[in-house]
């Protein structure tokens, strides 16, 4: 097991990474107390892991473990899904000293985390991510949210977990498509922050796709480390944290334009990163051969390097309502060289349109 810390003062918390951590009672014990714990999950994940997690919580001294199951998939991140969780917490008579455990992928983490953020004005929660995407990205940093028909993650809160327990053994059963979607965020962390990690990924992509456990563990650990440092610097995304959104302005347009759930988030991010790399080249901050390296790694990971064939104007429309639009002006995360991201505003719409057009199916 490897452990690292997200240094956020009184909201600091540990991230534990390793195989078989899911039912390690010692990791739950510091947060157990005598309170009720509500495990939020979906039927697929619950069938695989709920019993083990419940047993570990009981061993850790939790008096009562309740379960709240929500629908599988992105559509759970809705008012209906949120109400289902809140209703479950109320039915279980959870109080302010109760703890929510988010057991599942990014959807469960975002939804259960947001429910915890607003239940009785906020109760604590623990992230137990069971997908690569959740382990390397969404479970770390305290962003929680649900979607609105007008835009993804439009309703949410910053709510840091008490702990993140990333059991890489859960990745054994992950569908290939979801594994690749997670790899998209792993390589993103390299692109924006760590050229050396990009090199490591180029060397180890085969082992990563083959789910070699040590390789997975290193990929998760390095991703979490890179992300945690950015989050510690700018918890509420008033500035630098926005670099984590590299490719995401485009990705949100892809997800919304294709209809939520059609594209996995990581797939949309992959194609979005190709567009953002194109934009970086056209803006003069990235060399063409660096963008080619980005595209090549995405393709090697089996990820889409082009977005759905909507009109570029439709993309631009969808991007206007994206929440990263500040004062009506969309800011873009560009690469000032591979491994070094920065925010840019005031880009010519023409360049953005061309960059989208250059990466369509």
Positions marked active-site: 121, 143, 185, 227, 237, 241, 245, 248, 252, 265
CB of 84 to a second copy, least distance (A): 12
- 158 vs 200 by CB, closer to a second copy: 158
Q: Which element (helix H / strand E) includes 269?
A: helix 265-282
When asked if residue 97 is in the footprint of a second copy (CB under 8 A), the reply is: yes
- 292 vs 313 by CB, closer to a second copy: 313
Interface characters, 112-131, with a second copy (x: CB under 8 A): --x--xxxxxx---------
When asked if residue 154 is in the footprint of a second copy (CB under 8 A), the reply is: yes
| List 90, 210, 345, 357, residue binding a second copy (CB under 8 A) | 90
Q: Residues of 258-293 as b/e, b for ≥16 C-beta within 10 angstroms?
A: eebeebbbbbbbbbbbbbbbbbbbbbebbeeebbeb
Q: d(Cα 152, Cα 347) in Å, to the nearest integer?
A: 23
Q: Which window, 16-24, 142-150, 176-184, 300-308, contacts a second copy (CB under 8 A)?
A: 142-150
Contact 252, 265 (CB under 8 A): no
- 78 vs 170 by CB, closer to a second copy: 78
| List 10, 34, 289, 346, residue binding a second copy (CB under 8 A) | 34
Closest CA to 3 of 12, 257, 62, 11: 12
Q: d(Cα 240, Cα 349) in Å, to the nearest integer?
A: 23
Q: Which element (helix H / strand E) includes 79?
A: helix 79-91
Q: Which window, 23-31, 67-75, 79-87, 125-133, contacts a second copy (CB under 8 A)?
A: 79-87
Q: What is the CA 190 to chain-centroid distance, rounded?
A: 15
When asked if residue 5 is in the footprint of a second copy (CB under 8 A), the reply is: no
Q: d(Cα 139, Cα 228) in Å, to the nearest integer?
A: 11
| List 17, 32, 35, 70, residue binding a second copy (CB under 8 A) | 35
Q: What is the CA 263 to chain-centroid distance, rounded?
A: 15
When asked if residue 145 is in the footprint of a second copy (CB under 8 A), the reply is: yes
Three-state DSSP at 99 gives: strand
Closest CA to 337 of 297, 282, 281: 281
Q: Supply the DSSP symbol for 331.
A: P
Q: List the interface residues with a second copy, window 233-292 (CB under 8 A).
A: 236-237
CB of 78 to a second copy, least distance (A): 10
**Number of C-beta neighbours around residue 104 at 10 A:** 29
Task: Let me know how long the chain is.
Answer: 361
When asked if residue 143 is in the footprint of a second copy (CB under 8 A), the reply is: yes
- 105 vs 156 by CB, closer to a second copy: 156
CB of 336 to a second copy, least distance (A): 23
Q: d(Cα 260, Cα 146) in Å, to the nearest integer?
A: 12
| List 311, 320, 348, 361, residue binding a second copy (CB under 8 A) | 320
Closest CA to 195 of 336, 3, 343, 331: 336
| List 151, 247, 307, 339, residue binding a second copy (CB under 8 A) | 151
Tell me which residues touch a second copy (CB under 8 A): 34-36, 79, 83, 86-87, 90-91, 93, 95-97, 114, 117-122, 143-145, 148, 150-151, 153-158, 236-237, 320-321, 323-328
């Amino acid at each position: 097991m490897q452990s690292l810390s997200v240094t956020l003062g009184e909201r600091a918390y540990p991230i534990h990474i390793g195989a078989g951590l899911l039912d390690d009672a010692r990791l739950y014990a510091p947060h157990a107390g005598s309170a009720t714990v509500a495990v939020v999950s979906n039927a697929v994940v619950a069938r695989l892991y709920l019993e083990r997690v419940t047993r570990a919580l009981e061993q850790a001294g939790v008096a009562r473990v309740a379960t709240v199951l929500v629908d599988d998939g992105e559509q759970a991140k809705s008012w209906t899904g949120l109400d289902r969780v809140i209703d479950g917490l109320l039915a279980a008579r959870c109080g302010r000293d109760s703890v929510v455990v988010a057991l599942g992928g990014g959807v469960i983490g975002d939804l259960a985390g947001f429910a915890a953020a607003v239940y009785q004005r906020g109760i604590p929660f623990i992230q137990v991510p069971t997908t690569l995407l959740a382990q390397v990205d969404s479970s770390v940093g305290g962003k929680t949210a649900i979607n609105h028909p007008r835009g993804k993650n439009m309703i949410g809160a910053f709510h840091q977990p008490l702990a993140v327990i990333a059991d890489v053994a859960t990745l054994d059963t992950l569908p290939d498509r979801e594994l690749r979607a997670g790899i998209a965020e792993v390589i993103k962390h390299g692109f924006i922050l760590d050229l050396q990690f990009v090199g490591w990924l180029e060397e180890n992509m085969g082992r990563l796709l083959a789910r070699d456990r040590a390789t997975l563990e290193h990929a998760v650990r390095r991703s979490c480390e890179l992300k945690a440092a950015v989050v510690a610097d700018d918890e509420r995304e008033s500035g630098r944290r926005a670099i984590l959104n590299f490719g995401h302005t485009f990705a949100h347009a892809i997800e919304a334009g294709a209809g939520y759930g059609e594209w996995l988030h990581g797939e949309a991010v992959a194609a979005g990163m190709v567009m953002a790399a194109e934009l970086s080249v056209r803006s003069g901050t990235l060399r063409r051969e660096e963008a080619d390296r980005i595209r090549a790694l995405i393709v090697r990971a089996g990820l889409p390097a082009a977005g759905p064939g909507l009109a570029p104007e439709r993309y631009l429309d969808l991007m206007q309502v994206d929440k990263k639009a500040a004062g009506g002006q969309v800011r873009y995360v560009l690469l000032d060289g591979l491994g070094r991201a920065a925010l840019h505003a005031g880009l010519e719409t023409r360049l953005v349109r061309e960059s989208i057009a250059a990466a369509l199916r």
